[in-house]
Amino acid sequence: MSLSGELVSSANQALKSRKVEMKIPNKTFVVTGGGNGIGRELVLNLVRSGARVAAVDINEAFLETTAKLSDNRGNISLHAVDITDRKAVEALPEQVIAAHGSVDGLINNAGIIQPFVKVSELTWSQIDKVLNVNLNGLLNMTKVFLPYLLKRPEAHIVNISSMGGFLPVPGQTIYGASKAAVKLFTEGLRSELLDTNVHVTVVFPGAIGTNIAQNSGAMTPEQQAAQDTGKIKMTSPLRAAQTILDGMESDQYRVLIGSDSKMMDFFYRLNPKGAAMLIYNQMKTLLAN
């Protein structure tokens, strides 16, 4: 057998030796960004499926709305926490365990986008904010919860990257850099945990019908109107959440959400320069506003 064949065979054996499923019922999950968008739908879907959920968000009012929408409020605990505040995050695991008895999964969903402008027009504070929330916040949550997850018979970490994490989007360059870092961090973490019972999945959403732009302070009314013309096909947060949870339960390595993400993933592998030009032509009107 050739060296490449031996490597492939070894990888396949390693995968076969792992348990490949962690079912949702009777498990406890921590979901960041649980106050709106995909995060809210993740919380509601998990509870409907028989899980207990610790919903984390910086906005307490948004969390309360999520809880009111649930048909089983008793299985949700609310944690108004800034995930970039490391000390606050360090206190979370014991709070979750006090509320639910254990923690079996972490879904790092919280994220913001940048204003739709070129890097030269961004302030340092805008750059720092995007990097702190999208990367450092995710690192804080992962580092703090990982020791607890390693003690469970079966556990899972899901990190939400973005189509912009593998494909350059002008006007979202810093956001894309943060999500590219999430991509590689997640893939490296999965490899480090292959001999444990903690499974890891990375998710690449395309255009999702959420209010992330408004919550991030990233769009002017004119830019929002340009995006809402219907030229960009959006995936609903509900569908995105279900796709994420299906991917987690089947221990998928990577999950692509939306026809745009799937198509651009293929196109970018085939022709990186051509894919970048396609996205530039679609997004340049936003930069012009």
User: Kind and range of the H or E element at 28?
Assistant: strand 28-32
Reply yes or no on whether 175 is catalytic.
yes
Q: Which helix (H) or strand (E) holds 79?
A: strand 76-80
Q: Give dist(CA 279, CA 53) in Å, integer.
A: 37
Alpha carbon distances (Å) from 149 to 77, 117, 138: 18, 39, 15
Q: Which two tokens stand for residue 133?
A: 């929330």
Give CA angle at 136 (51, 63), nearest 5°: 40
- Of the residues 148, 175, 268, 280, which is catalytic? 175
Supply the Cα-derived Rg of the chain in whole angstroms: 19
Q: What residues act catalytically?
A: 175
